Structure 1
Amino acid sequence: MDVPALHGKRLLAAILFVAATLVLALQLITPTPVVVSLGQSGAETTQLGEYFTYPEVAVVAVAATLLGGSGTYLLFDDAPDGVDTETRERQQTTTPVGRGTDNADAVRGDGDGIAQPQSEAWDDTIERLHNNEKTVFTIVRDAGGKLPQRDIVEETDLSKATVSRTLDTLESKDLLERKRRGMGNVVVLT
């Protein structure tokens, strides 16, 4: 399983996220009390309540902006450091469907000396599967051999846990592979 490491821009975004969260929490928890002096000598003081001063409001606004920006970056940026958005999109559209293949119609040998198109090999595999395995494998095959795991859950009546267990089983049979992408997995048929 490929776990994205926190380094470079992602590390900076994570540090900003944590720091902004702490600053925001501290500012919101501890507003400044307003104290008023009464009497001619100023000896009596009364606390009217707790309010935010303008500098405190500015700190809260900056911290909230940093929190939102860094959180959004961490949530939606799934490219490794050094890879710009255009390169990432090109990689996603040209990523091989299976190991060592260029597209879904690539030729694959099944060990019997007869090469057959990969889609036919996938069809043969489906015939050997049962129940949830067949359902999950078919959905990924119909998507061209590559599909986010969350889409499998959405397209079936299966729970997240059932889909995960089924993918574990299929992965142990070397029929597919899960690759970490951002906050989720992409399932790729092999």
Structure 2
Amino acid sequence: MTQISSRPRSELLAVGIFVTAVTILVTQFISATPAAVAVGDESTRIGNLGWQFTLRDVALITISAYAAGGSTIVLLTEADPTSSTIADAEQTDASTRQSTSESSNELLEARREEWETVSERLTSNEEVVYQAVLEADGVLPQSEIVDRTDLSKATVSRTLDSLEAKNLAERKRHGMGNTVLLT
């Protein structure tokens, strides 16, 4: 005999409660008691003032609303045992970040070796500017180069022109200044 697991039964129960609760809610709202008002002393005229709910109606509506909400929460939070949980997703994300970080560190080290080889064949000012950017992992604002070296703004700018002409560096506009990237 095949045994059905408890998870589908709980889902089936939650669906049954939800459908029943919604049916009761709809029925109660459709069949509310109209409030009648008699007007005048000698003649009776009945007019509808609106809809009114008895205490029993209010109790049924409240219980049905809670049942519908609770069963909806159960249905939405039931997790499929074959799907990954939040913890699994976070663990996978952490391992992906770690492997990405390791590969980017390896790439940075390879690029650093290339940049150091290039640095050896530059003129004095070019080497000073290039080394300043290299020490910042290949990205540095132009104003920082001026601060980190004893070179003037004009000398740094001319030197960067020379490095750009040799395709060793690139300036990107960033706000009011430039950011220098080693290529």
Rg larger in 1 or in 2?
A: 2
TM-score between the two structures when normalised by the length of structure 2:
0.42
Report the TM-score, using the length of structure 1 for normalisation. Answer: 0.40
